[in-house]
Chain A
Amino acid sequence: MIGYVLRRVAGALLVLFGLSVIVYALFYLAPRDPAVLTCGKGCTPERLAQVHAAMGLDESPVAQYGHFLQGLVAGRDFPAGPDVRHCPAPCLGYSFETDQPVTKLLADRLPVSASLAIGAEILSLAIGIGAGLLSGLRRFRFLDRVVNGLILAGYAVPVFLIGLFLLLLFCVRLQWLPFPQYVPLTTDPLAWAQNLLLPWTALAVIQSAGYARLTRAGVQQTLAEDYVRTARAYGLPERRIIRSRALRGALVPLVTLTAIDLAAIMASAVLTETMFGLPGVGQLLVGAVNQIDLPVVVGVTLLTGFLVVVANAIADLLYAAIDPRVQIR
């Protein structure tokens, strides 16, 4: 078990290191200069050179990457006018665009994205597994068709269309809900849930489709297995067969997909975030890419990589818990 954990941690660090190198390399291969955007309209070449130096871009890419690694491990000092700003480890630097510490930007926005992702996943799983079971058990052929049709329809509609429809229906037409704005869970749990209800629903409409299809396929496949026939032959009640055999078999692929989706929503639900005015990580990333904001792009990439690695590790542990054939060594 300890060996397993060590191997996973080493693998994760290697992945994150590789990611940061790739992002840095891509940044310096692209013919774009962030100092031009920072310096603004009518910036003279002399001024641009000064701004370049102030942003630390006058050093070689390798030296800059070295400083970045140093900041990550030991922290860094940044000159900033009359004072020197100290950025403690793990320091991801300051945003080129807004001059804010990248760690603070991520810490500010992660709760928003996590709220969005976790709520949307719970809703998606509830709808997806429920619908998948209903149609997978083939109790009612008609219901199977209806559920399948609805699921496909949900899957096919883009999120901004669903989002706008929900906004127009519930906020403009019926006025049951205010236009969403993020309220932290710790400030007011009720307002938090109320404001996130529409974005959760919009994402769940799309996500649950995939889960339902997986559940349906898994349930059907498991029910055809020999051990289910055996269980039936032994006279086990059907309810128990479904709960501890069929569902269990269907859950394995679902766990993987959920883990990846969770990480994906946290980092890249930019359309949903913009539509519902949620200042999440996805918005941060898109803005940073447009503004050639290297420290933020690297920060978000590392965060995303980290989340994916962690989610996968948790998924692997859950496998072992769900499927007795899987063993962690």
Chain B
Amino acid sequence: MRRTLPITFALTLLAGALAACQGGGNETSTAAFDPATCQGGTLPVLNQSGITHLDPARLYTSGGGNIPSLLFRTLTTRNRQAGEAGAKPAPDLATDLGTPSDGAKTWTYKLRSDIFFEDGSPITAGDVKYGIERSFAPELPGGAPYLRDWLTGAADYQGPYKQPEGITSIETPDDKTIIFKLSKPEGDFPYLATATQFAPVPKAKDKGADYEKHPVSSGPYMVESYEPKKTLNLVRNPHWSRTSDTLRYACPDRIEVTAGLDSAVINQRLQAGAGADANATTTDANVGPEQLAQLGNGGPLDKQVARGEFPSTTYLAFNTSKKPFDDERVRQALSYAINRTSVVNALGGSAVAGPSTTFLPPQKALGYTPYDYFPAGDAGNAAKAKELLAAAGQSNLSIELSHGNDDSEGIGPKVAAAVQDAFKQAGVTVTLNAIETATYRDVIGKPATQPALALSTWGADWPSGGPFLIPIFDGRQIITAGGNFNLAQYNDPAVNSEIDAINALTDPAAAQARWGALDAKLGKLALVIPLTHEKDVNLFGRNVKNAVPDGWRGQYDLSRVSVK
């Protein structure tokens, strides 16, 4: 929302003016939460942007998403635990997390026997296979790209409409067994199987692009009415059963999503809690400055806030194939010069962002290993930076920094100005180059148009070191035609083979240690300057119970909250 800035500012002023006359909120009940007795009521969800496509083939989610996961069960799903315990997958449609064989190149899943679509027909392995095949259709773009790369011989597959024979590397020997044949070992397959592309789709009900008008539910809720980017009303799916799905509590009888609201208004409504708003939640409005100021002092709003962390890093990306960033000393100098405190402030303060000196965010599941090779302290080490620049013969360095043209994604003008200011202390002149946010990734992802230095963010598609490090540092992932994320243009065969070796591990604990060590090794090269990691602060209405942020997505999970 481009208009948020003045609106937020105005709201801060007005809220301050009116705060003096506001009464206190109701006390939240402190009784222990019992999923067996939480059923009933209507849960309103107040959101900024609506779901553009409700088609499981087209949704790009981490861990199956928040709202989509109410409708779509997948082979596996996130386990919905709080904190670090929540960064793990759990079986959903499948009976377990899958059986690897052939060195993690083959994954076999058995489906549960008590799983049904909303029309009562049983869910078969063929339905899961068909759902995956649909996501390859160019008519249904937008989903996560991994399967095209991972499945043997699937790169050129164009979906069941053009090629009804299907993908040969997915086998369904019987109705309850599905086998995936991969072109290389992938120990993270159980994590990927949480994506909505692994939701079953009954072929007889597939209407192509119009399927999303009423996608057939396998989860606790089904679509009553849906208007893209406006409203989504969900009611109970009579053929879903609590015994077959213990992860989703499915407390409310009804869920009503309203989209297209301003984030300042959403937070104001959640705080005020007038009428039905006392039961309301949001899945995409981060708390604004006017509420942040009222948090943490024991006031009533402290009982209406969920604080989590989605693994995500904001960083400066060097293009090491371009001068002057081909010189390691220049990259090191700028790493010393950075002022992470001012970047954190530009993002909204320490409540919503924390300083990072590692590329991996501070989640254990990703293999976080602390390091700080170019200590910049809180405010930057300009002296050390000047020294290194002089040694590199770059004492009067002038560089250009590219950034998005709005601040909504944390890579906008505010953060760029903070970076510009820090580098100025080290005698480096920075000119800013704003690029339209909608096409930002497209511009920096094409080596032909990629700037030498760009602000960027990276979030984990699942909580493991692989999806964090591979796209950014695997030299074989450099794509020259576009969609490239290896902005450093870094290609080291030793690193590539270490990535392959870790990918073959099926024990997450063993993989974590190796990903952490790899991150620390890459950190020494100063290919990027890590700036901050994300913190999520979301409000909920005062009657909402069990709004606990899960360790996978950092937000409270709608499948577990109650308004009874």
Write the residues of chain A forming the contact surface with B, with a CB cutoff of 8 angstroms: 32-33, 35-48, 50-51, 53-54, 79-83, 85, 97-100, 108, 158, 160-161, 164-165, 167-169, 171-173, 175, 178-179, 181, 270-271, 274-275, 277, 279, 283, 286-287, 290-292
Are A173's CB and B22's CB within 8 A? yes
Separation of A100 and B227 alpha carbons in the complex (Å): 10
When A and B form their complex, which 10 residue pairs have the shortest distance between CB atoms, in order from nearest? Answer: A81-B208, A45-B481, A50-B138, A42-B145, A80-B209, A54-B138, A98-B228, A40-B142, A80-B208, A172-B272
- Whether A277 touches B261, Cβ cut-off 8 Å, given contacts A37-B438, A47-B141, A179-B274, is yes
For residue A140, give the distance in angstroms from its CB to the closest CB of chain B: 33
* Contact of B142 with A38 in the complex, beta carbons under 8 Å: yes
Whether the pair B138, A79 counts as a contact (CB closer than 8 A) is no
Among B1-34, those with CB < 8 Å from A are: 1-3, 6-7, 10-11, 14-15, 18, 21-22
**B271-314 residues at the A interface, CB under 8 angstroms:** 272, 274-275, 277
Q: Is the CB of A275 within 8 A of B7?
A: yes
Task: Check B114 for interface membership: any CB of A closer than 8 A.
Answer: no
CB distance from A163 to the nearest CB of B (A): 9
| A42 touching B471, Cβ below 8 Å | yes
CB of A54 within 8 A of CB of B145, answer no
| Contacts A164-B10, A274-B3; A44 near B139 (Cβ below 8 A) | no
Partner of B439, one of A32, A108, A161, A275: A32
A42-B483 in contact (CB<8A): yes
In the complex, what distance in Å separates the CA atom of A98 from the CA atom of B55? 11
Q: Does B52 contact A (CB under 8 A)?
A: yes
How far apart are B438's CB and chain A's nearest CB, in angstroms?
6
The verdict on B230 contacting chain A, using a C-beta distance below 8 Å, is yes
Chain A positions within 8 Å of B261 at CB level? 274, 277
Q: How far is the CA of A47 from the CA of B140 in the complex (A)?
A: 11
Minimum distance in angstroms from A164 CB to a CB of chain B: 5
Interface 1/0 per residue, B158-199 and A, CB below 8 Å: 110100000000000000000000000000000000000000
Q: Once the chains bind, are A83 and B208 in contact (CB under 8 Å)?
A: yes
Interface string of B65-79 (1 = CB under 8 A from A): 000000000000000
B493 nearest CB across to chain A (Å): 22
Q: Does B564 contact A (CB under 8 A)?
A: no
A83-B207, A178-B275 known; A277-B260 Cβ under 8 A: yes
Q: Which residues of B contact A173 (CB under 8 A)?
A: 18, 21-22
- Give the residues in chain A near B14, CB-CB below 8 Å: 161, 164-165, 168
Given contacts A51-B138, A161-B10, contact A40 B3 (CB under 8 A): no
In the bound complex, how far is the Cα of B139 from the Cα of A42, in angstroms?
Answer: 17
Contact A160 B10 (CB under 8 A): yes
Some 19 contacts from A to B, beta carbons below 8 A apart, are A33-B439, A36-B442, A40-B141, A43-B145, A44-B148, A46-B156, A81-B208, A83-B210, A99-B212, A108-B230, A158-B6, A168-B15, A169-B18, A171-B274, A172-B18, A172-B268, A178-B275, A179-B277, A292-B439
B434 contacts partner chain A, Cβ-Cβ < 8 Å? no
Report B-chain residues with C-beta under 8 Å of the C-beta of A291.
438
- A83 contacts which chain B residues (CB < 8 A)? 207-208, 210
Q: What is the bound-complex CA distance between A98 and B316, given in angstroms?
A: 33
Number of A-B contacts (CB under 8 A): 165
CA distance A287 to B161 in the complex (A): 30
CA A81 – CA B162 in complex, angstroms? 8
Among B206, B209, B227, B441, max chain A CB count under 10 A is at B209
Q: For A47, what are the chain B residues with a Cβ–Cβ distance below 8 Å?
A: 138, 141, 145, 148
Once the chains bind, are A160 and B483 in contact (CB under 8 Å)? no
Q: How many of chain B's residues have a CB under 8 angstroms from any CB in A?
A: 66
A33 and B483 CA atoms in complex are apart in Å by 13
Whether the pair B18, A168 counts as a contact (CB closer than 8 A) is: yes
Contact A40 B161 (CB under 8 A): no
Cα–Cα, bound, A213→B512 (Å) = 71
Cβ-defined partner of B52 (8 Å) among A98, A158, A181 = A98
Give the complex CA separation of A172 and B134 in angstroms.
47
Contacts of A38 in B (CB 8 A): 141-142
Mask for B214-252, Cβ within 8 A of A = 1, else 0?
Answer: 000000000000011110000000000000000000000
CB of B137, distance to nearest CB on chain A (Å):
7
State how many angstroms separate the Cβ of B416 from the closest Cβ of chain A: 20
How long is the Cα–Cα vector from A47 to B482 in the complex, in angstroms?
11
Contacting residue for A44 out of B52, B137, B145, B264, CB 8 A? B145
Residues of A within 8 A of B210 (CB): 80-81, 83, 85, 99
Q: State how many angstroms separate the Cβ of A40 from the closest Cβ of chain B.
A: 4
Q: Which of B211, B212, B438, B481 has the most CB of A within 10 A?
A: B438
CA distance A142 to B159 in the complex (A): 76
What is the bound-complex CA distance between A117 and B145, given in angstroms? 44
- Best-buried of A46, A108, A175, A275 by chain B (most CB within 10 Å): A275
A residues less than 8 Å from B206 (CB atoms): 81-82
Distance of A80 Cα from B211 Cα, bound (Å): 10
- Please name all residues of chain A whose beta carbon is closer than 8 Å to the beta carbon of B508 when the two chains form the complex: none
Chain A residues with Cβ below 8 Å from B483 are 42-45, 48
Q: Are A292 and B438 also in contact (CB < 8 A) when A45-B483, A99-B53, A164-B11 are?
A: yes
Give the contacting residue for A43; candidates B6, B141, B146, B207; CB below 8 A.
B141
Q: Which of B158, B208, B209, B482 contacts A48 (CB 8 A)?
A: B482
Known: A81-B211, A99-B210. 19 other contacts (CB 8 A): A33-B439, A42-B485, A44-B145, A44-B479, A45-B479, A53-B138, A81-B206, A83-B207, A158-B10, A160-B3, A160-B7, A161-B10, A164-B11, A164-B14, A167-B268, A179-B269, A275-B265, A277-B262, A290-B2
Shortest distance between the CB of B161 and any CB in chain A (Å) = 5
Query: A262 CB to closest chain B CB, in angstroms?
Result: 23
CB–CB B209/A164 < 8 A: no
- Contact pick for A50, options B158, B229, B264, CB 8 Å: B158
Contact A81:B144 (CB < 8 A) given known A167-B265, A172-B274: no
What chain A residues lie within 8 Å of B159 (beta carbons)? 81
The answer to the question of B348 belonging to the interface, with a C-beta cut-off of 8 Å to chain A, is no
Q: Which residue of B lies closest to A98 (CB)?
A: B228
A277 to B277, CA, bound (A): 14
Task: Indicate if the CB atoms of A46 and B155 lie closer than 8 Å.
Answer: yes
Contact flag A108-B258 (CB < 8 Å), given A45-B479, A48-B483: no
| B143 adjacent to chain A (CB < 8 Å) | yes
